[in-house]
Structure 1
Amino acid sequence: MSQNYTDSNSQQVTTEVYQKLPTNSTKYIESPSRDSHQLDHLEHQRVAQTLLPNDAISTLTVAEAIAQMLVNLGISSAFGIAGGAMASLWNALSNSKMQVLNFRHEAGAAFAAVEAYFASDRPTVVFTTAGPGITNALTGLFAARGEGAKVILLSACTSAPQRGRWAIQETSSYTLPSGGIFTSGALFNYAITVESAAQLPQVFRKLALGLAQPGGFVAHLSIPTSVQTSLVEGISWPQLDVDAYQITAQTEKVAKSAQLLFSESFAIWVGFGARNAADEISKLAEKTGVAVMCSPRGKGIFPENHPQFVGVTGLGGDASVITYMEKQPPARTLVLGTRLGEPTSFWSPTMIPAKGFIHVDIDPEVPGVAYPHAHTFSIQSDIKAYLQELLKHLPETPRPTELLPNPQPEPIEPGSDYPVRPEVLMAAIQKIVVEGSDAIVLAECGNSFTWSTHCLRFTEPHRYRVSTGVGAMGHTVTGVIGAAQACRGKAVAIVGDGAMLMNNEISTAVKYKIPAVWIVLNDARYNMCHQGMKILGLKGADAEIPPTNFAMIARGMGAEGVGVLRESDLEAALKQAIASQVPFVVDVIIDPDRPAPSGGRNKSLAAQGVKANGSNIIKTSAHQVSFPLV
């Protein structure tokens, strides 16, 4: 349920109120609506949130109080690895109402927590011990911040009397920089070291408000070992009272955007931030007849089989988008919930409409950054709330729908059956996994990303997940555990062999009987690197990997696995994986020389200073070119 909070300065701050909080911790009392001059048609409620009953704390340790209050904040899952420094905290989590999943690597636990959040829309916890436990988790938490997840890291640190004395895994200002890891900044929205039980009321007030804000929230609570076992006594626990209501942009700004959009032709560019506004986007598109495109993370929010869908932009995208922008360019583009960063736009000037962008986002710093020289009318708002208001301004006479270019699947020519061509594998995944099941599909970075984004088609939101911000290798091979656990169903990871060798969590899935599926594009290479270096004409760098039998590894860990050598065996193997009730690896030997799909992005290379001509790159400036652009 998307709501809005007003702070002491009466500024609008969107927040998500978690409906799944325990019934004894939150109550909702209706109260009159706000003046329509400020916000139209808003539901105004009083939320009284008690973090911990006062009569239940006299015998609690700090660790137990933290675990209980996290449960009361709506958190039901914790992912991590234990250690001696956080034994009391680990024990408290394990005896709480949270499900605690013990992983094999902290980065994998963090990636799983990210994907569990997106699969369930509920905040999650990552727990680590001191020292390397924290540093191992940082990449996954970096991804959490970049992806906009709500994740809280609980870590242990060295107790004050032992700091600077070479304690085991010492975690203090003597061994790690405090700025950015133990303090708020670019990595954590909120971070603190809990040195006393007296800090807890304020800490949990900060967490509750942070989790209620729009977008992501990544926090870090570091609790010294000795503090974890100290008793919580003589503390007055806060009761948080906040006004909750739905946010929308100012009435005048909505009206102005409607005037700009409906006076001339426009297109809609859909991003991941619009995933909860699928119905409103479809209604707007069909009432106006405009073209719709999406970012890689926005696949499925607007049905990809719709006649008004012109394709996916950016990495792994469709050439039909460029065709549309060159031959039927709109006067303006309505951008909904995407930062228009490099993986989404390549900052290509072709994507700039003649009269600029109307950019709607919950983050006021997003509009205008990707294209600073383009005219941008920015609106800070929840996407769903904005569209609900915009639809009230629809013209009475619908604009006729143009005949628009649509993404067309490349024809698959007859082949030799061995090895498997990636495009044939994607066609089988489309049939068996996407259309034949309700599984969440996640694609790893690299060529797995480009093949999946380019070839797979989704008709509903919340089915496809890729990381376009951090793009860390190992995100999906471990994140699939969190997605499957959170949705209590199938989740399928499309990954490369390099990622599987880096950081998979098959053993974790076996332990908890999580029916995750890995489909491995096994080509014995870091193939995006291999193909990218070849296209750039750079020789001598070695991107090869010794051949690996991942099906055998899976069986050795207690999962099921099959190897696929021939295209004719693909569908049977995928059906077996989808039907399985245990973790399953489909190890597919693919043709390593099939070039990853790049038709949609070659036309944007000019913005990066190069021209593409078949397999050759002609440099037109001194600008550097990175692998995804080739």
Structure 2
Amino acid sequence: MTENYTRATPMELESYQRFEPVESIESLQSDATYAYIQPIEARELAQPDANITVAAAVVEMLEQLGIECAFGVAGGAMATLWGSLSNSLMKVLNFRHEGGAAFAAVEAYFATNRPTIVFTTAGPGITNAITGLFAARGEGAKVIFLSACTSAPQRGKWAIQETTAYTLPSEGIFTSGALFNYATTVECAAQLPQIFKRIALGLAQPGGFVAHLSIPTAVQTSLVEQELPRLDLEGDRSIPSKETIAKCVSKLTEGNFAIWVGFGARGAAEEIRTLAERTGAAVMCSPRAKGIFPEDHPQFIGVTGLGGHSSVMTYMQTQMPLRILVLGTRLGEPTSFWSQSMVPRGGFIHVDIDPQVPGVAYPHAETLPIQSDIEVFVQELLTQMPQVEQTNTLPHPEIEAISPGTDNLVRPEVLMSAIQKVIVEGTDAVVMAESGNSFTWSTNLLRFNQAGRYRVSTGVGAMGHTVTGVVGAAIARQGIAVAIVGDGAMLMNNEISTAVKYQVPAIWIVLNDARYNMCFQGMKLLGLTGADALIPETDFVTVARGMGADGVRVTTESDLTAALEKAIAHNSPFVIDVLIDPSRPAPSKGRNQGLAALGVKATGTPKQVSFPLV
């Protein structure tokens, strides 16, 4: 062998294959233990003079846009595109289900604030991924979806997994609309420059951006003859006019005001705290915005909406502010329940990057709408906002005392207390909660003091989002990510096997009660009988070990701390299977008070309302 080559074990080959085709590796001398390959630094990574394929050009331009991770499931129709991705500088993560890959891509984006890729083959690859991509759009992620579709000569001839207008609706899947901010089919290489200018522009703007590029199988291998554009992500964050800021200051200084913080304000945590402390304003937040304003701050009055705190309603009923400054939240159902009790006397000043948001949730309330990036707006507001002395004593979220335990099933509130101590306070892990009662327990009882450490989905709220998204978050942040999930979600869609393949430190804490308990408790509260929300009890530790991970089953409260500490120290995929008491009602004070204001009662003959409003 020459000095230009080095030895690598078979386990190391996968990362090298991302830079050099498998055929060239296999052509070198090897023995049973080692293959001989060129070191990365000895290779020419620049494109050769020869024309490159459309697939390679697409990947090159996505690299220019700063994308580092791609999540997906391959197939024959996208083999060339998959090969180009696999031989790029990106981390290419091969998942077990396209939906799981899409959820992972969403959470990888939020863990790093860098756009991500989802890749799938044609037909069912696309349809399987749609729910995760729907969540990406709803959550405000930046995700590029790469798929294959049937080549023009084969369309309408019943090709394998035919993906054309004959088999799938084009509107909304292959065109821009409610699902994708931008979508197109790449029919020839000449389209690439304008396609990628559009994508670069979309990624550069504040807020989310979800795009779909579908590339026919034959087009993937066609050659690009023209020069590709150089791309950047320099965006324009327009500054509100001085007149607009002056108008806001005038309204906010007419009387007491509160600040309602949403997930869209996550980049303005420092500025919001400065504004609150300068003005004495009470601060509340949506479930997704937990931690943007410290939850132990004396001016924090609680979380609104689903899983929220009764202290918010106490504040609105006893210290109604003149106005509320709404920052980066749509005030949708999970955040407000559209309760009229949340409408202040002087209305809202509603700031959002999306001009279609302000004034929609409460159309009859007086609203001053402002389109702006939240960080830019608050920075400008601080240049004119005067110092105000705080005069009121504000209510705060209360955590009820926990009575002594027994040797029976684990109470969810005790589990949350242990998670708070061991994980929230003892590590820097990202914690995410699945939809259902996992959401309400976690949102109500856990406390965070910094942005980016808590993740829930309130838009789509798909089961399976967190059980798979936790893998994407752990991979992207290269650190521990923890998912608090129900047994129903864990059975629906998990990627334990994927976590084992890449040895990522993902932890699943399963609230195992052998039922879809939000539905079970909700139907009981409504007085409805006969609906079946039970599922067979599953041993998730056995499942995890069958996939190559480890875990521990917890049946008593005294074992919780040790189990959590073991999972943290394990630093690889780990499942904590907690047998919880299904009779404990999920936290509902805040939402019940909000519903009471709307005339909804849960006693006698209850008004028929849909979950999770029960």
Q: Shared fold (TM-score greater than 0.5)?
A: yes
Kept in 2: contact 1:131–1:171 (CA 8 A): yes
Give me the whole-angstrom Cα distance separating, in 2, the residues matched to 1:115 and 1:608.
35
Per-residue deviation, 1:365? 0.8
Alignment of 1:278-297 (within 5 A): 278-297=269-288
Give me the whole-angstrom Cα distance separating, in 2, the residues matched to 1:143 and 1:86.
24
* SS across alignment from 1:125: strand
In the other structure, the counterpart of 2:499 is 509
Matched, 1:599 2:582: no
* SS across alignment from 1:603: helix
* SS across alignment from 1:182: coil
Kept in 2: contact 1:290–1:401 (CA 8 A): no
Give me the whole-angstrom Cα distance separating, in 2, the residues matched to 1:180 and 1:608.
36
Kept in 2: contact 1:115–1:480 (CA 8 A): yes
Matched, 1:298 2:286: no
In the other structure, the counterpart of 1:524 is 514
Give me the whole-angstrom Cα distance separating, in 1, the residues matched to 2:458 and 2:536.
28
Q: Quick check: 414-423 or 586-595, which moved more?
A: 414-423
Structure 2: state its 5+ residue gaps: 1-44
Kept in 2: contact 1:125–1:152 (CA 8 A): yes
Q: Letter of the 1:499 partner, please give it.
A: A
Q: Deviations over 1:142-196 (max 9, x none)?
A: 0000000000110000111111111110000100010000011110011111011
Give me the whole-angstrom Cα distance separating, in 1, the residues matched to 2:349 and 2:583.
42
In the other structure, the counterpart of 1:627 is 611
Kept in 1: contact 2:56–2:84 (CA 8 A): yes
In the other structure, the counterpart of 2:81 is 89
Kept in 1: contact 2:309–2:397 (CA 8 A): yes
Give me the whole-angstrom Cα distance separating, in 2, the residues matched to 1:515 and 1:501.
20
Per-residue deviation, 1:606? 3.8
In the other structure, the counterpart of 1:575 is 565
Kept in 1: contact 2:204–2:235 (CA 8 A): no
Matched, 1:618 2:602: no
Q: Letter of the 1:85 partner, please give it.
A: A
Per-residue deviation, 1:394? 2.1
Give me the whole-angstrom Cα distance separating, in 2, the residues matched to 1:266 and 1:56.
62
Give me the whole-angstrom Cα distance separating, in 2, the residues matched to 1:212 and 1:452.
33
Q: 1:240 to 1:575 in 2, by over 3 A?
A: closer
Instruction: Pick the aligned partner of 2:198 from 191, 206, 210.
Output: 206
Q: Letter of the 1:318 partner, please give it.
A: H
* SS across alignment from 1:494: strand
Q: Deviations over 1:105-145 (max 9, x none)?
A: 00000000000000000000000000000000000000000
Instruction: Pick the aligned partner of 2:133 from 133, 141, 155.
Output: 141
Give the number of aligned pairs: 570
Give me the whole-angstrom Cα distance separating, in 1, the residues matched to 2:48 and 2:203.
24
* SS across alignment from 2:267: coil
Per-residue deviation, 1:580? 1.1
In the other structure, the counterpart of 2:71 is 79
Per-residue deviation, 1:609? 4.7
Kept in 1: contact 2:204–2:233 (CA 8 A): no
Matched, 1:331 2:322: yes
Kept in 1: contact 2:100–2:494 (CA 8 A): yes
* SS across alignment from 1:263: coil
Kept in 2: contact 1:535–1:617 (CA 8 A): no
Q: Letter of the 1:300 partner, please give it.
A: G
RMSD (Å) for aligned C-alpha atoms: 1.5
Alignment of 1:1-80 (within 5 A): 58-80=50-72
In the other structure, the counterpart of 2:172 is 180
Q: Letter of the 2:273 partner, please give it.
A: S
Q: Deviations over 1:521-544 (max 9, x none)?
A: 000000001111111111111010
Instruction: Pick the aligned partner of 2:469 from 471, 474, 479.
Output: 479
Kept in 2: contact 1:267–1:290 (CA 8 A): yes
Matched, 1:341 2:332: yes
In the other structure, the counterpart of 2:256 is 265
* SS across alignment from 1:537: coil
Kept in 2: contact 1:610–1:617 (CA 8 A): no
Instruction: Pick the aligned partner of 1:388 from 379, 382, 390.
Output: 379
Kept in 1: contact 2:185–2:215 (CA 8 A): yes
In the other structure, the counterpart of 1:399 is 389
In the other structure, the counterpart of 1:115 is 107
- Calculate percent identity across the aligned residue pairs: 72
Give me the whole-angstrom Cα distance separating, in 2, the residues matched to 1:334 and 1:76.
37
In the other structure, the counterpart of 1:14 is none
Kept in 2: contact 1:608–1:625 (CA 8 A): no
Q: Letter of the 1:149 partner, please give it.
A: A
Matched, 1:465 2:455: yes
Q: Letter of the 1:72 partner, please give it.
A: Q
* SS across alignment from 2:111: helix
In the other structure, the counterpart of 1:494 is 484
Per-residue deviation, 1:435? 0.4
* SS across alignment from 1:571: helix
